[in-house]
Amino acid sequence: MAMKRLLFVLAAIGLSVSLSAQAPLWDLAKDKIPAALNHGVVQAADGSVTVGGENYFGIPPSAFPDQQNFTVQVTVTFPELTDGTTMHVLLKQKKDGEDTGLGLTFLNFPTIQAHRPIINGMHIGDKRLKLQPNIPYAFTVAVRKGSPTYYLNEAPTGQYFVLLLPNDEPMWVGKRLFPREKPFTSAKITALKVYGPDFAYKSPKEKPTAEPRGGIAGKGWMVDAPTVVDPKRPKLLFYGDSISGGYRGHLLPALEGKVYAYHWSGFVGGINPKVDELIKQGASVADFDLVFFNNGLHSLSWTPEKATDQQIIDTTRAIVRGFKAGAPKAKLFWIATTPHTARRTEPGKPVTALGDKNPIVLRINRLAEQVMKEEGVEIIDMYTPLAARLDLASGDEYHWTGPAYKLIADAIVAKTNEALKGK
């Protein structure tokens, strides 16, 4: 009897310790917002808080004793949505440009609705999301050994292979970051909990994989990267704008198990002959064997009135030199910019004409080809085959359908196989 009582006591102690380890360090439903961190908000009886406009609050820094290991869970609802607005639901950062901490931002613009992670001051990749009023969005941000992973409704939306840099800031909720940004009118925070290092978040929607992908980020760049388990497997980097996002879905499966493929979704939109240092940083994340790159249709602002031939040549050469410096042993391939097409005139009808900005594409390709020949970079011409297949255009002037993206992916795979033959 005494032994049973002892076992019961020990079990109770164990349960108590377990529950204590799982208890949040800060809970909006139970903890009051410190007056010094309250900027015009009011807690409802259920603990919920409405932020928006100039009203926001902060979670005290004491809720983050270990900034390499913590979990934040927040549920947010938007009673109304206004075009052209931004809402930083989570922001552990003092000001724009500060290279520490993390955040979670919502964007509601006519051209894009999305949520976006902020890591060490970097606004990383828009995650498209069709925002609807009065629909709860439950986010979890789990920081494990300094690397953050974001979840929406328990589904992982992004894992980042980057060490989160600590700061002594509160975690702000609803605070404006940029002076000129227009905040959401309102956002209702119905749940908000912060857990410490003893809390191990596990998502039932997260499928274990031997080679999970994640992001490696720096100031002004982020590279989507695989987990390297075989150091002898060749490594490939492909760089480009949303066109690269289109062919990515065909390219990654085609290379799986043969080549580690890294994806850098980026572009140089303005004339910048000193961009080589930024390119070098992103190209240095791995010991690459191959690099495929294109600056894309974001260069359509390079009209003769705004950019001379020499300026385009200098910027293009800086991009090439950046890849050479960051990936010195890699063979480089430049992919010619795809055509600018006319808009689809009627639903269901194919595109039949090039767009009014296509002469700019031809100019950029001509000048880029000159640079590539001078720099010894092999050219993959994806302009010519797609100009002959306008029926594969998406109809929005810039993008393409799946078969066109497969053509680009197939060309990259063919060049990859050729370059790595015998390795």
The DSSP bridge partners found for residue 171 are: 59
Residues 384 and 240 in one domain: yes
The rounded percent of the chain whose pLDDT value lies above 90 is 67
Q: What are the structure tokens assigned to 266, written together?
A: 């980026």
pLDDT in tens, 254-281: 999 999 999 998 889 889 989 999 999 9
Q: What is the pLDDT of residue 14?
A: 44
The domain that holds 161 is classified in CATH as 2.60.120.200
Alpha-carbon gap, residue 157 to 232, rounded angstroms: 29
Q: Give the mean pLDDT of the chain.
A: 90
Is the per-residue pLDDT at 19 higher than 50?
no
- pLDDT confidence tier of residue 242, bands split at 50, 70 and 90: confident
Are residues 237 and 369 part of one domain? yes
Q: What is the β-pairing status of strands 235-240 and 112-119?
A: unpaired
Please report which confidence band the pLDDT of residue 12 belongs to, taking 50, 70 and 90 as the band edges.
very low
Domain annotation covers residue 203? no
278 and 181 in a single domain? The answer is no
Other CB atoms within 10 Å distance of the CB of residue 39: 15
Question: Which domain-ending residue is among 165, 195, 225?
Answer: 195
Query: In this structure, is residue 15 part of a structural domain?
Result: no
Q: In what helix (H) or strand (E) does residue 358 lie, and over which residues does it extend?
A: helix 358-375
Q: Is 42 in the same domain as 155?
A: yes
Q: Is residue 304 part of a domain?
A: yes
C-alpha 416: how far from chain center:
26
Instruction: Mark whether 276 and 408 lie in a shared domain.
Output: yes
Please tell me whether the overall predicted TM-score, pTM, comes out greater than 0.75 for this model: no
Would you give the distance in Å from CA 99 to the centre of its chain?
A: 16
Provide the pairing of β-strand 331-335 with 378-380.
parallel
pLDDT for 172 equals 97
347 located within any domain: yes
**For residues 197 and 22, is the Cβ–Cβ distance under 8 A?**
no
Q: Which residue has the tokens 């227009």?
A: 182
CB 124 within 8 A of CB 116: yes
Question: CB-based burial of residue 68 (10 Å sphere; 0-12 exposed, 13-18 middle, 19+ buried)?
Answer: middle
Least confident of 157-161, 191-195, 247-251, 386-390: 157-161
Range of the domain at 382: 213-419
Q: Are 191 and 225 part of one and the same domain?
A: no
- 172 shares its domain with 248: no
Q: Per residue in 296-350, pLDDT tens?
A: 888 999 999 999 999 999 999 999 999 999 999 999 999 999 999 999 888 889 9
Are both 154 and 238 inside the same structural domain?
no
Q: Domain count of the chain? A: 2
Of 195, 222, 246, which closes a domain?
A: 195
Residues 226 and 174 in one domain: no
Same domain membership, residue 381 and residue 312:
yes
Do residues 150 and 156 touch, judged by C-beta distance below 8 A?
yes
- The CATH number given to whatever domain includes residue 251 is 3.40.50.1110
**Residues 30, 65 within the same domain:** yes
Q: What is the mean pLDDT of residues 186-190?
A: 96
Instruction: Give residue-wise pLDDT tens across range 348-376.
Output: 899 999 999 999 999 999 999 999 999 99
Beta bridge partners of 236: 261, 290
